[in-house]
Amino acid sequence: MSPSAPDPINDAIRAMRRSYGEVGLTEGLAGANPLPLFANWLAEAAGNSYVVEANAMVLSTFDGARISSRTVLLKGFDSLEGGCTFFTNYRSAKAQALDSNPELSLLFPWYAMERQVIITARVEKVSRGESEEYFASRPWSSQIGAWASDQSMEIPDRAVLEKRFQEFAARYPEGSAVPLPDNWGGFRALPHTFEFWQGRYSRLHDRIRFAKVSDGTWSRQRLAP
Ligand SMILES: Cc1cc2nc3c(=O)[nH]c(=O)nc-3n(C[C@H](O)[C@H](O)[C@H](O)COP(=O)(O)O)c2cc1C
């Protein structure tokens, strides 16, 4: 591209430069255990009207050949072990990657609060009973949607999806109990590390990382921003 050619996208990117805040993450605030800190930050994000979908997290997987990322919703946090539960299709691309390699990362992008949390973890599937309980709590249309969608599979067009929705809606009419599909359920991510990032002035951000030690306690390090 010649230097004088209009380049509105890169002009806009160059203009994006925010100065981050005064309120930091000290060792005293972080404490010795990441679980209460994470629970606090999640609650603060959920209560902040500028944060859209505070429980949305970017889940990255590695299947041995490729890394892939996508957003899923955190549906449960276990404040004793730090387990992060999400629900999905067990035949989806992400589930296949997790079957071959159960290590993952979860990233919470709370930009409106100048915060980010990155978790690394190992997953396990939740019990079928736990998936049934969560599935039963979903709206009927979401339950039918789970039956209708072979998530991550190529489909010829949208009409195919809508036809399948109508077929399952006829099989399980609104108001009836919709069973949990065999290929749908939860995963629980059991964290090895948590990294808390708080934006600060002059790009001197605070980064505090916790790593799980074999005896179940946590070590804490401060990282350069
Ligand atoms: C805000 C948001 C929340 C989402 N939540 C979920 C979720 O909880 N479970 C899920 O399977 N997909 C969810 N998705 C869709 C996924 O990002 C993704 O498209 C889908 O799971 C297929 O991913 P895969 O082909 O990599 O397996 C969400 C997408 C967005 C943007």
Q: Is 20 exposed, middle or buried (0-12, 13-18, 19+ CB in 10 A)?
A: middle
91 is catalytic: no
2 has pLDDT over 70: no
Pocket test for ligand 1, best of 53, 59, 70, 135 (most atoms within 8 A of CB): 70
Domains of the chain: 22-135+187-222 (2.30.110.10)
17, 66, 158, 203: which one is catalytic? 203
Residue with tokens 């690394």, as numbered in its chain: 120
Q: How far is the CA of 29 from the centre of ligand 1 (A)?
A: 33
Q: How far is the CA of 88 from the centre of ligand 1 (A)?
A: 8
pLDDT, position 105: 98
Residues 23-47 have pLDDT tens digits of 799 999 999 999 999 999 999 999 9
Residues 75-109 have pLDDT tens digits of 999 988 999 999 999 999 999 999 999 999 999 99
Q: How far apart are CA 36 and CA 39, in angstroms?
A: 5
Q: Name the pTM for this structure.
A: 0.93
Residues 148-180 have pLDDT tens digits of 999 999 999 999 999 999 999 999 999 999 999
pLDDT band at 17 (very low <50, low <70, confident <90, very high): confident
10 has pLDDT over 90: no
Using CB distances shorter than 6 Å, the residues near ligand 1 are: 53, 56, 68, 70-73, 86-89, 92-94, 151-152
Q: How far is the CA of 4 from the centre of ligand 1 (A)?
A: 41
